[in-house]
């Protein structure tokens, strides 16, 4: 009987996706285009935050949006109404956007003319956390009605992002939400992430969000 060999691998699962993501990131950087990946549960305010961001930045930043809403063009249509280009990704019911899907969608954009591409990922706090899309900036939105305990329940997504946006702060008066403990949990998982508190419907807190974003464009 042949001897069993133990072969050391030590490679990340999904390393193929990671390699493609790295090359997308490098290609976009060469074109001085920044890719922002926005993640959250369904309904936390991804589209609302994107619309607010377009409103505040489209005068000075040239941008486009890639929408990955499941089998619907509702969000893409809302973005297109603002005059900003919106591309619908075909996720085929997939639970997250991966680098290959992003590459295909981005090929439809005139990347050299763009400063910022915003990706609205599929509404889900688990799967998008594990698939690098090639984004330079990863942001997770949590909304007040979802509860302050979410970071500890979905630690992987909070651990990997550059910024955490707490949306729907207009609900703070009526919802039992402990802001201090929420941010404490976020810090425990991710000491480096930037923190924002906003209300996309009221328009509160958005100025510091767009300033942060502007400061990170390449």
Dihedral of CA 21/22/24/25: which sign?
A: positive
Q: What is the CA radius of gyration of the chain?
A: 18
Residue 41 touching another protein (CB under 8 A): no
Closest to 102 measured CA to CA, from 137, 132, 138: 132
Q: Do the beta carbons of residue 217 and residue 173 sit within 8 Å?
A: no
Which of 22, 90, 149, 207 touches another protein by CB under 8 A? 149
Which of 36, 41, 75, 148 touches Mg ion by CB under 5 A? 75
Joined tokens for residue 217: 């464009």
Residue 212 touching another protein (CB under 8 A): no
Find where tokens 């930037």 sit: 194
What, of another protein, ligand GTP, Mg ion, none, does residue 150 touch, CB below 5 to 8 Å by kind? none
Query: Would you say 77 or 149 has its CB closer to another protein?
Result: 149
Residue 90 touching another protein (CB under 8 A): no
DSSP output for 58-108: TTTS-EEEEE--TT--HHHHHHHHTT-EEEE---TT-SS--HHHHHHHHTT
Q: Do the beta carbons of residue 128 and residue 46 sit within 8 Å?
A: no
Residue 142 touching another protein (CB under 8 A): no
What, of Mg ion, ligand GTP, another protein, none, does residue 215 touch, CB below 5 to 8 Å by kind? none
Residue 46 touching Mg ion (CB under 5 A): yes
Joined tokens for residue 31: 């074109």
Interacting residue ranges for ligand GTP, rule: CB under 6 A? 40, 42-48, 69, 75, 123, 167-168, 170-171, 199-201
Interacting residue ranges for another protein, rule: CB under 8 A? 2-17, 94-96, 98, 126-127, 130-131, 149, 152-153, 155-156, 159, 181, 184-185, 187-191
Interacting residue ranges for Mg ion, rule: CB under 5 A? 46-47, 75
């Amino acid at each position: 009987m042949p001897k069993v060999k133990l072969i050391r691998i030590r490679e990340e699962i999904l390393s193929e996706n990671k390699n493609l993501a790295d090359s997308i990131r490098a290609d976009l950087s060469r074109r001085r285009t920044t890719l922002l990946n926005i993640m959250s549960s369904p309904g936390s305010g991804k589209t609302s935050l994107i619309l607010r961001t377009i409103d505040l930045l489209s005068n000075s930043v040239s941008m486009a949006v890639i929408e990955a809403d499941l089998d619907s063009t509702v969000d893409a249509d809302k973005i297109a109404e603002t005059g900003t280009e919106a591309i619908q990704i075909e996720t085929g019911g997939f639970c997250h956007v991966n680098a290959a899907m992003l590459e295909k969608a981005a090929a439809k954009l005139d990347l050299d003319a763009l400063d910022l591409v915003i990706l609205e990922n599929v509404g889900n706090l688990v799967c998008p956390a594990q698939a690098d899309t090639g984004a330079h900036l990863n942001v997770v939105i949590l909304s007040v009605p979802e509860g302050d305990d979410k970071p500890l329940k979905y630690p992987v997504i909070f651990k990997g992002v550059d910024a955490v946006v707490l949306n729907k702060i207009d609900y703070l008066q009526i919802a039992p939400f402990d802001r201090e403990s929420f941010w404490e949990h976020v810090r425990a998982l991710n000491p480096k992430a930037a923190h924002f508190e906003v209300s996309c419907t009221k328009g509160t807190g958005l100025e510091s969000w767009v300033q942060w974003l502007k400061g990170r464009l390449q």
